[in-house]
Amino acid sequence: MLYRSRLAVLAALIGACVACDSRHSSRGFHLPGGDVDRGKAAFAALGCHSCHEVPGAGLPAPSVKPAVPVSFGGEVDQKLSDAYLVTAMLDPTYQLGPYPRDQVTSGGKSRMPCYAGKMDTQQMIDIVAFLQSRYVVRRWSPQYVYF
């Protein structure tokens, strides 16, 4: 019951932020702008760095065994949406990434614990801002085929 009430409060807070200016996903979900430095601090304080690598962020190396292949940041064709990152934190088993199942699951569920109720809304927003800041979208260049 407490879990449901916390989830309802979190949903209400996210809904209240709809009018704020921020990053947008194709499905209309968005978060207000977070603070990258606070996000990095929250990422470390919640122990996320013990499983996940964020290259170039200056965090300690992951220490969990067996290692988790989920790394954040780098060059990508398209950034992950804020909605995807929030869902991954609140319900990690919902949509597992394209990783070997035996490395990211245990007993059919994500090895990552659910963080609903373990972080406040501002921490979640700041962590998403921190993770989004670590991605660089590749510049698209057309490929021409000459005959």
Contacts made by residues 135-139, CB under 8 angstroms, sequence distance 24+: 135/72, 135/73, 135/74, 135/75, 135/76, 135/79, 135/80, 136/74, 136/75, 136/76, 137/75, 137/76, 137/77, 137/78, 137/79, 138/75, 138/76, 138/77
Q: What is the mean pLDDT of the segment spanning 38-51?
A: 96
Quote the pLDDT of residue 99. Answer: 82
Q: pLDDT band for position 79 (50/70/90)? A: confident
Going from the N-terminus, what domains does the chain have, and what CATH number goes with each? 2-137 (1.10.760)
**Mean residue pLDDT across the chain:** 82
- Band the pLDDT of 24: cuts 50, 70, 90: very low
pLDDT exceeds cutoff 60 at 19: no
Binned at pLDDT 50, 70 and 90, residue 1 comes out as low
Q: Please tell me the predicted confidence (pLDDT) of residue 146.
A: 72
Over residues 80-137, the pLDDT tens digits come to 889 989 999 999 998 887 788 888 888 889 999 999 999 999 999 999 999 999 999 9
Q: Name residue 33's amino acid.
A: G
